[in-house]
Amino acid sequence: MFINCKGQLINLTKPCVMGIINTTPDSFYTLSRTQIVDDALARASQMLNEGATFIDIGGQSTRPGAEPVGEDEELQRVIPIIEAIAKEFPNCFISIDTNRAAVAKAAVGVGASLVNDISGGDDDLQMIETVSKLKVPFIVMHKKGNPQTMKEQAHYNDVALEVFDYLATKLVQLKAQGICDIIIDPGFGFAKTIEHNFELMHKLEVLKQLEAAVLIGISRKSMIWKTLETTPENALHGTTTLNTLALLQGANILRVHDVKPAMDCIAMMGKYVGVD
């Protein structure tokens, strides 16, 4: 399984890691936040040295209840950091985490090479056309509503089936618009209760039928720290456990705050299944 990124074919048959850098003051995990370029460069350097394939940079918190920021503010947060990381680490694959087409376009213009949209193009109707023109891989995630309303929309007859159907429909739509390099994300924590999240994890293997790379983003999320009755800061071991379960069911990319533990998880899983 390959995606074409910056003219290079990335083999996702062996799972890889996407490190998270949030240029926000309010993302749920305090240690993921930075708005200082030098700090972001140091974090990117550490993540790449630890084995990250991708660095995901976002300028809006999408935690439940988070307030949106304006487009100009989002651009001011992400563009200098993306530009600096792209200059310092020209071989790095940078993902822009945004639901705005204008932000995606600007980010790719200064060095980003993937677009990660939690709305899969639903929040900004220009997004899909923009990604198609940019010819970059697109990460499409399942969610309902927005950070202000998604708690109230966490209702499903069968959460795994609804996520599957949504992503299957998106794949058809995106391919029809000329987007071929697509990564799917089931959207843990987005309009889903803790019970929904664990049901989705239990049935994650069904997404392999879509024949697309699967990204899992459960790092330090509330499904972990609330279950363990702790905090995001103390949710690393729970994260590693769920990442292991996701890998067993075919996950291709682990989106995480902590790269080294995720890389160790992949290495141990590789040994277990006999893949070097």
pTM given for the model: 0.94
Is the distance from CB of 2 to CB of 10 less than 8 angstroms? yes
Q: How confident is the model at residue 206 (pLDDT cuts 50, 70, 90)?
A: very high
Q: Is the pLDDT of residue 150 over 90?
A: no
CA distance 55 to 70: 23
3-state secondary structure at position 103: helix
Tell me the mean pLDDT in the region 107-133. 97
**pLDDT (tens digit, 9 = 90+) per residue, 82-119?**
999 999 999 999 999 999 999 999 999 999 999 999 99
Q: Is the pLDDT of residue 276 over 60?
A: no
Hunting for tokens 């799972």 — which residue is that? 15
| Known catalytic residue at 151 | no
Task: Say how many C-beta atoms besides its own lie within 10 A of residue 237's C-beta.
Answer: 11
Tell me the mean pLDDT in the region 77-83. 96
Percentage of the residues of the chain whose pLDDT score is greater than 70: 94
Q: Is the pLDDT of residue 158 over 80?
A: yes
Residue 7: CB partners within 8 Å, gap ≥ 6? none
Q: Is the pLDDT of residue 245 over 90?
A: yes
Beta strand 54-58 pairing with 16-22: parallel
Name the β-bridge partners of 9. 4
**pLDDT (tens digit, 9 = 90+) per residue, 17-72?**
999 999 987 666 666 668 889 999 999 999 999 999 999 999 987 766 677 889 99
pLDDT at 253: 98
Q: Is the pLDDT of residue 258 over 80?
A: yes
- Active-site position among 208, 221, 260, 271: 221
Domain ranges for the chain, please list them: 16-269
φ, ψ at 248 (rounded to 5°): -60, -25
CA distance 56 to 253: 12
- One of 3.40.50.300, 3.30.1330.30, 3.20.20.140, 3.20.20.20 is the CATH number of 16-269, namely 3.20.20.20
Q: Which of 133, 127, 97 minimizes the C-alpha distance to 114?
A: 97
Helices (H), the chain: 37-49, 71-88, 101-109, 127-134, 159-176, 194-202, 222-225, 236-248, 259-273
Beta strand 8-11 pairing with 2-5: antiparallel
Q: Is the pLDDT of residue 148 over 90?
A: no
pLDDT at 65: 67
Handedness of CA 200, 202, 208, 210 (dihedral sign): negative
Is the distance from CB of 81 to CB of 37 less than 8 angstroms? yes
pLDDT at 238: 97
Tell me the mean pLDDT in the region 255-271. 96
pLDDT at 101: 98
| Known catalytic residue at 255 | yes
pLDDT at 62: 74
Task: Say how many C-beta atoms besides its own lie within 10 A of residue 149's C-beta.
Answer: 12
- Active-site position among 87, 255, 260, 271: 255
Tell me the mean pLDDT in the region 133-158. 86
pLDDT at 149: 73
Query: What would the two tokens of residue 127 be?
Result: 């997004």
Mean predicted lDDT score pLDDT of the chain: 93
pLDDT at 146: 72
Task: Say how many C-beta atoms besides its own lie within 10 A of residue 192's C-beta.
Answer: 25
Tell me the mean pLDDT in the region 250-258. 97
pLDDT at 275: 55
Rounded to a whole number, what is the distance in angstroms from the first to the last CA of the chain? 16
pLDDT at 69: 87
Residue type, 247: L
Calculate ∠ Cα 157-163-168, nearest 5°.
130
Q: Which of 146, 167, 175, 246 minimizes the C-alpha distance to 209?
A: 167
CA dihedral 147, 75, 3, 163 (to 10 degrees): 10
